[in-house]
Structure formats: structure tokens, C-alpha cells
């Protein structure tokens, strides 16, 4: 694991809990910070060969793959914030079940 490749700071956000309310009593829509980590990004790794050739089409989803060091408490119900982008988590894989890396496939929210 080359630590120099983990050069993107991402934030994991958790959805508001059921019944959570604002000061005025409205249902809360604010996502809360769970954890900030260093990550490596590989946008082309998420594309299949078919998607790669269709990347110029208007129906293309902006998918990317993020790799982080293994950490507990990350799940598919969360979001990732990277700079001003919000990314939905599609899947999380514990690479080789070795508890060393998590590979996270995301798509950008529009």
C-alpha cells in the first residue's frame, strides 16, 4: 500500500435519523459528518469496457472508485463528499477480506 497515492480527502456523511427535527420542528434534511479519511480515486476503474466506449453519451453516469484504508462503520447508506461533489455509494468491498482496504464504487448525484 503506497500512502502517497492516498491524496484525496473525502468525508463520509450519514443521513438524518428518522424523527430527527430542526429547531422549528421540521424534519431534518441535514446529513451529519461521520468520518474524514484520505482516499485514492480511480474514475476509470468503475467503467466496464462497454461503459468506457459509451462514456461520451448523454446517458453516462459519473461513476468512480475510491480506495481507503480499512475502517469500521462505513456502509452503503452513507454518502461521500469530495470538495463540492456529493457521491452516492453503490457498493463497498473489503478487498480480499483482509481488513486492509475498502474499495467503494460511487456515482455522482445530480
Phi (first) and psi of residue 64, to 5 degrees: -155, 160
Query: If you average pLDDT over every residue of the chain, what do you get?
Result: 83
**The predicted structure's pLDDT at residue 60:** 54
Where in the chain does DSSP place strands (E)? 8-14, 32-42, 63-69, 79-82, 85-94, 101-108
Report how many domains make up the chain. Answer: 1
Domain housing 96? 3-18+27-108
CATH of the domain at 101: 2.40.10.270
pTM score, two decimals?
0.78
* pLDDT for residue 45 is more than 70: no
Contact 103, 92 (CB under 8 A): yes
What is the rounded average pLDDT of the residues 6-19? 90
* pLDDT for residue 57 is more than 70: no
Amino acid at each position: 500500500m503506497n500512502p502517497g497515492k492516498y491524496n484525496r480527502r473525502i468525508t463520509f456523511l450519514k443521513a438524518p435519523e428518522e424523527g430527527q427535527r430542526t429547531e422549528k420542528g421540521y424534519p431534518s434534511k441535514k446529513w451529519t459528518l461521520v468520518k474524514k479519511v484520505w482516499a485514492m480515486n480511480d474514475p476509470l476503474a468503475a467503467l466496464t469496457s462497454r461503459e468506457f466506449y459509451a462514456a461520451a453519451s448523454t446517458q453516462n453516469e459519473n461513476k468512480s472508485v475510491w480506495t481507503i484504508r480499512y475502517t469500521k462503520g462505513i456502509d452503503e447508506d452513507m454518502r461521500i463528499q469530495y470538495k463540492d461533489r456529493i457521491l452516492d455509494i453503490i457498493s463497498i468491498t473489503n478487498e480480499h477480506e483482509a481488513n486492509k482496504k475498502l474499495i467503494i464504487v460511487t456515482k455522482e448525484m445530480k
